[in-house]
Every structure is written in C-alpha cells, then in structure tokens.
Amino acid sequence: MHYKLYYWPHIQGRGEYVRLALEEGEADYIDVARMPESEGGGRPAVARMLQDTSNTHPPFAPPLLKAGKQIISHTANVLHYLGPRLGLVPKAEAQRLWVHGLQLTITDFVRESHDVHHPIANSVYYEDQKPESLRRSGHFRSERLTKFMNYFETALARSGGDYMLGKSLSYVDLSMFQVMASLNYAFPQAMAGMQAKLPRLNALHDLVAARPRIATYLASPARLPFSTHDLMRHYPELDA
C-alpha cells in the first residue's frame, strides 16, 4: 500500500505520531504538505483535503492518511488502522484494544499539554492569555502532568518488559517516545524533578530513539525541531 500523509508542514504536531509509525514500519508514503506548492504540496494541499465537498465522510482536522481511496482522520484512529498493517501491534484483539486505549489516553494528555499555553482559545495569541496560562501551568505541573506520567509509568511497569506490551514494540511506544521528547523540551525543569520517578519511561524514550529506522529519521531533515508554534511549547515562565 502507498500512503499519503496530510499534515501542516511547519510543525511536528499530531502528524509526528503518525510519521514515527510510518518510518518504523518502513511504509511507502509521501508527506504531501512537505512538498512544494508548485507540485501540489504545502498548506494548500491540506486545505484542499479538508474542503473537498466530494468526500461523503468529511474529516474535521489533520492528520489525514490517504490509503487507496480511503481517507482516515484523527491520530489515534490512523494509528489503529496502520498498526496491524505495519506490524506495530499484535493480531490479538485484546492487545490491539489495549494499545488503542493507551493511544487515546495520550491524545487526552497532549490536548491538556497544549492548553497550558492556550487555555482560553486557539485563536488568541499566547501573550493575550498569559495570566490564564500561568495559572493553568501550575495546576498542570503539580496535578495533571504527575497523574498522567505516573499512569504511563505504572502501565509500563506492569507490562513485564521494556515496552508497553512487554517484549514487543508497538506504535504506542513510538508515541510515548514523542510525548517524552516533547515534555523534555517544553517543561525541562518539571521533567528534571520527575526523573527519579520515571525510570521506565526514560528508558523507553532512549530505547525507541536508538532503533535504527527511528535514529535515521531523527537525524534527517524530515524531523523538524520543536518550536513555540507546536503542540507543546517551551515558555520558561510556564515551567518555573
């Protein structure tokens, strides 16, 4: 199968969770919006997909994956589709559902992480909701960050191995790597204070980063740097 990924070209964002799976699974794919606009790429390519009135199942937002004539939306849904096709999830239904549930929990957490710097509205600049962001960040670091990280650490501990499913890598391990990398960028002080409590998650991050295909991808221009335009952003005052 040849895949086409549609996501905004200037950030890692939610599309990065799909990219990591495509890279680890050695999928034949094109990151359409990373192509020049003159070749049908760029942001207009994503906009065209979202505005296509011929689609009887219109997607709400990217990332979108085009597989043949099928268009799949939502990060967790895309990964649920790709997992068995790329060998990134076992065949057993119970394990597939467990991995999907973990991915949905990651989706919840990523949203809460984003809302630290945009607690009022996405359409309002951070500078115009800074007081609310400062208040939100305190609750996030002391409550939500701790709750989610402790949960993921516990799930990994109970797996009986190095990965969320124990001995076998799945797409949720790739996503967990992305979560840890994003948090270390956005909240370095908060994460430094939690290091001793997250030995398994830290080890998982390093294990995934060292996988040959992932290491090659991370060292390539295709892996965009973190920035203050992304889902998780580093503002020192929010990490105080």
pLDDT of residue 56: 87
Give the model's pLDDT for residue 154.
Answer: 98
What would the two tokens of residue 194 be?
A: 């939690």
- Using CA atoms, how far residue 97 sits from 33, 41, 65, 88, 101, in Å, is 31, 34, 20, 13, 6
pLDDT number for residue 1: 87
The pTM (predicted TM-score) of the whole model is 0.96
Taking CA atoms, 140 is separated from 10, 136, 214, in Å, by 26, 6, 30
Q: Are strands 28-31 and 2-6 parallel, antiparallel or unpaired?
A: parallel
pLDDT of 240 reads 85
- Listed as ranges, residues in the chain with pLDDT below 50 are none
Which tokens sit at 154?
Answer: 């516990």
Please tell me the predicted confidence (pLDDT) of residue 221: 96
Per 3-state DSSP, what percentage of the chain is helix, strand, and coil (rounded to 5)? 60, 10, 35
CB 164 within 8 A of CB 102: yes
Segment holding 5, helix H or strand E: strand 2-6
pLDDT tens-digit readout, 89-104: 999 999 999 999 999 9
Q: Which helix (H) or strand (E) holds 3?
A: strand 2-6
Task: Specify the pLDDT at position 55.
Answer: 86
Q: pLDDT value at position 53? A: 87
Q: What is the pLDDT at residue 210?
A: 98
Place of tokens 């597989």: 67
